[in-house]
Amino acid sequence: MTDFVRAARPNDLGDVTAITGRSTGSIAFIAGGTDLIIAHENLPWPDLIIDITGIAELDFVDVTETAVQIGAATTMSTLDRHKGIRKSLPLLAQASAQVGSAQIRNRATIGGNIASAVPAGDLLPVLKCLEVRIEILRHDGRTEVLEFDDVVVGSGETSLGNGDLITGIVLPLKHGANRISAFAKIGMREVLTIARLNMAIAANYDQAANRVSDIRVVAGAVGPLPLRLPAVEAVFQGRVIDQSLADDFLNALVSEIDNAIPGRYSQSYKRRAIIGLGLDLLRDLFDREFSPALPLMEPV
């Protein structure tokens, strides 16, 4: 413990390790600071604040035919505007575009969204849906690549130790050009809102057969962690995309809410709201309109 807070602004990852390797006190890494500074409004800062926004090697987006790599200090604005991300990972661009306000998106980073591990974090269901791997620089200089579920482990909780830094994410583009994906979110107002529900879907779509395969559905803000929904995914098994499938899909979403938050005050709201979210996603994925399932019409 020291009696005042120190700051460091390293220019490369070698400097980071030089600092974390020698430091004996508590460390906070800061990038956009949009969550961290609010969190410390009424909480003391750790002994050392390390700003990573001066590290050029953490601010990059690299999209190739086979993989996408993104530096941890890449902002939401950059992801939203990046042509390669918009083309290869539209749901990541969509989710980034819906985070906070223009001011927030100009600061908030993908690494920070993971490190904050907020249940309503908009990128979290997307990253889990995309099966990204997360690159870590340990405080002693070792590097590791971990699965999403091994990093984000609880509400506001990661597996990272003091002085460990998320340096980026990597994902292989193992699917072909017929991969479709979408992200949608519901909050209390249209913009600058914390998600009450969000969801990411990715699938291979055979347009001629009008069927999907290899589908992943991940919902956020329904529990401490982003939740994969296998029962919802199973609905698509061997079915053509039509209104009857949409009905079953929407009903499966309602069941998932009932299972995830039984008795919670928000259950009655979210089991209806998720139908609207599901309809938004279907429209986005298949470029056509579907009707709501019956539960939307039930009296509250």
* Residues that bind another protein in the complex, under the rule CB under 8 A: 4-11, 19, 22-25, 30, 32-34, 37-38, 40-41, 45, 48-49, 51, 53-54, 77, 100-104, 106-107, 190-192
In this complex, which beta carbon is closest to another protein, that of residue 48 or of residue 274?
Answer: 48
Provide, rounded to whole angstroms, the least separation between the CB of residue 41 and another protein.
6
3-class SS of residue 205: strand
> Is the Cβ–Cβ distance between 161 and 29 less than 8 Å?
no
| 211 CB burial (10 A radius; 0-12, 13-18, 19+) | middle
Per-residue CA distances from 22 to 18, 26, 123, 207, 251 (Å):
6, 12, 33, 57, 55
The nearest distance, CB 223 to another protein, in angstroms, is: 25
Question: How many angstroms separate the Cα of 209 from the Cα of each of 62, 213, 222, 237?
Answer: 33, 11, 33, 13
> Who contacts 32 (Cβ-Cβ below 8 Å, separation ≥6)?
53, 75, 104, 107, 108, 109, 112
Q: What is the DSSP letter of 120?
A: T
Q: Which residues pair with 75 in a beta bridge?
A: 109
Q: How far is the CB of 70 from another protein (least distance, A)?
A: 19
CB of 159 to another protein, least distance (A): 26
Q: Which is nearer to another protein, 11 or 268 (CB)?
A: 11
Task: Please state the length of the chain.
Answer: 300
Q: Using CB atoms within 10 A of its CB, is residue 292 exposed (0-12), middle (13-18) or buried (19+)?
A: middle
**Closer of 27 and 282 to another protein (Cβ):** 27
Q: Which is nearer to another protein, 19 or 273 (CB)?
A: 19
Residue 160 C-beta: closest distance to another protein, Å: 21
Residue 250 beta carbon to another protein: minimum distance, rounded to whole angstroms = 29
- For another protein, the closer of residues 37 and 231 by Cβ is 37
Select 104 or 296, whichever has its Cβ closest to another protein: 104
